Amino acid sequence: MRERTWSCCRSIAESAGTFQTECTPLRLAGHLSDNSVGTYTAGCKGYFWEMTMHTAGVTGLSGVYAADDVARFLQADDEMQPESFRACRRDERGFTLHLSFKKFGVHRRLIVPDIQVRGEGGSWTIESDPVFNPLWREGGQSLASVLYAIVQATAQHLSHATCWGAHLSPKAQLPPAPPAEPRVVFNESDIAEIENLVRWCEQAQPFVEGKKVLNVAGGGGIAAKLLSLWASQCLNVDWDATSLQIGFETFDAPNLWHYWVESPSSLPVIMEEHQPDVVCWFQGIDAVLLGVIATDMKEATTLVCPALDVLRREAMEWFERCEIAGDLLVCSRPKRRASPDDRVFLTLQANRWTNGNWQMLLSRNTLPITVNGVLGYAVPADIQTLYDSVRHIRCEQAVIAEIGSFCGLSACIFSHSLRRHGLTGQVFCIDLWDTYVDMNPSAKETGFFAYKSGQLRQLFDHYTKTAAATGIVPTCEDSTQAWRRFPDESIDLLFVDGDHSFEGCLRDLRNWYPKVKPHGVILGHDYDWETVRAAAQQFAREKGLRLLPSSTQTMFLLLMPHASPQPERPSAPVDLFVASCV
């Protein structure tokens, strides 16, 4: 059995104030067979606690995952890291814990839900679904250490609160930094929503058994995963790419696909292309969207949705036949009426960018995030760093080049920051987008969901358009060649976020360095990656440049020889409202 060592155990414990020394690995005093009880003993600074792991069945979301799902996660070729946890107190002696693991390199996540914890002091009984036994065996002593630290920290916080959660940073070997900031990510309304979702899906089983199913607005993937247990095919469709990516990372099945559409008005096209037998709609309930779904539905297609009062009234306007089945509304024989459009929604997103009232949505302590509806991988502090970096630009007609544009979030930020600081210019976006799959076929199976569906460039174009980002120049070319397009000393701001290997990052810095003006700056992302950090540090030594890591250690700034460490321009601030979403 391979042993895993995670560096986050200490930060979890310290953030809760439980103890100040790093846990020693737990000693395995038993083993977990498929339905056994394993007992672990943990030691820390001479003190010992007992923790008994029961694998009896529990209620809740445990049924979403099957043994094959756990096996596929464990077989994915990357190291497993604890990502986040959420807990809710049941009574004075017990709480329910939801623990998330991720293999960051291959975009795979496994949620271990409904872990039942009982006990007090140093003695805990922990009960989980037997389907996760292979996970505990694979993780071994290191996983037991992490689990114990989380339980200790959670127990202390839940002594004076009803719920608590935290994001666990997977970064290793960083300079000393404050522990991860815990914040509440789980409440009673979340529990009710998940319970409703599971109940509706279970009641939908007779309607979807053996059928082709289109699951609408189900980006998070819970409903799609459940429906795929019974359906012959399940296509999970959403216009929120962030939620869709989380669903893709978390819930997988051979007959389940996750697909992005630009807007709800694209649903009729999807239905025409995929010809579903059943359309399921359990999330994002809105009376207007009902009309969009009904438009161009085939006579033989059935719509299954919750029997909410607002939908029952509206459904009679759109369907000839509406019946109640338990908690569900089953509609068929759609009437032919004009469909509403979604131009108001797109205008709202563009207005957020231009009026400086920005909104960032964090999805349950997981990445990715959205800013004004645009998807990306960053932490809130990164958004501010990207925005403020434009203040280093001296000339009025700026040239920004970014290596690695992904869905366009950084390009949108640069474009609007230029505008708000009274500058004009161009943002050259160097990326391979969908052609990356041709060079790296494994990306289609293990990377971002849009690679699998060939939609990444489509996402970039959509986001930069709806964000009203001006001066965007997409350049579909490898960064190892694209630098030749730029004259020497022509770039004011270079943003490096491409190849994250040591060799690749260092190569980009070396190739593009002559293209940056003597008073320009080089900004880089993911400085918390050991390979990126080593490349930036070596390059700074080679050129004698000043290297400034961000306060979060996630970004770095390299000052060219004549650049000032202080921004040249006064700030034109934006209001960045950070909110959590399901």
Could you read off the pLDDT tens digit of each residue along the chain, which spans 582 residues?
Answer: 333 333 333 333 333 322 222 333 222 223 333 333 333 333 332 222 333 443 333 345 656 788 888 998 998 888 888 877 888 888 888 888 888 888 877 778 888 888 888 886 667 788 888 888 888 888 877 777 778 778 888 888 887 778 777 766 554 332 233 333 333 333 344 555 777 888 899 999 999 999 999 999 888 888 999 999 999 999 999 888 877 888 888 888 889 998 888 778 788 888 888 899 999 999 877 777 888 888 778 888 999 999 988 788 888 888 989 999 999 999 999 886 555 444 434 444 557 788 887 877 765 545 678 888 888 888 778 898 999 999 999 999 999 999 999 889 999 999 999 999 999 999 999 999 887 666 666 565 555 777 777 788 988 998 999 889 999 999 999 999 999 999 999 999 999 999 999 999 999 999 999 999 999 999 999 998 899 999 999 999 999 999 999 877 889 999 999 988 888 888 888 877 766 544
- 307 Cα distance to chain centroid: 31
CATH, domain 188-334, list 3.40.50.150, 3.90.230.10, 3.40.50.720, 2.40.10.10: 3.40.50.150
Contact 211/47 with Cβ under 8 angstroms? Answer: no
**What stretches of 513-560 show up as alpha helix (H) in DSSP?**
530-543
| Residue at 579: amino acid letter | A
| Residue at 419: amino acid letter | R
Every domain of the chain with CATH number 3.40.50.150 lies at 188-334, 345-581
Across the beta sheet with 163-167, the strand order is 27-28, 38-44, 47-54, 123-127, 108-120, 94-103, 81-91, 163-167
CA distances to 290, 314, 321, 336 from 317, in Å: 10, 5, 10, 10
Q: Give the chain's largest Cα–Cα span.
A: 74
Instruction: Write the Ramachandran bin of 425: left for phi over 0, alpha for psi from -120 to 50, otherwise beta.
Output: left
CA distance 328 to 220: 20
CA distance 40 to 142: 11
| Residue at 217: amino acid letter | A
Q: Indicate the fold that domain 345-581 takes in CATH.
A: Rossmann fold (3.40.50)
CA distance 555 to 36: 46
Across the beta sheet with 575-581, the strand order is 374-376, 366-371, 357-363, 575-581
* Nearest one of 12, 368, 7 to 164, comparing CA atoms: 12
Contact 498/404 with Cβ under 8 angstroms? Answer: yes
Strand partners, 79: none
Strand partners, 126: 53, 117
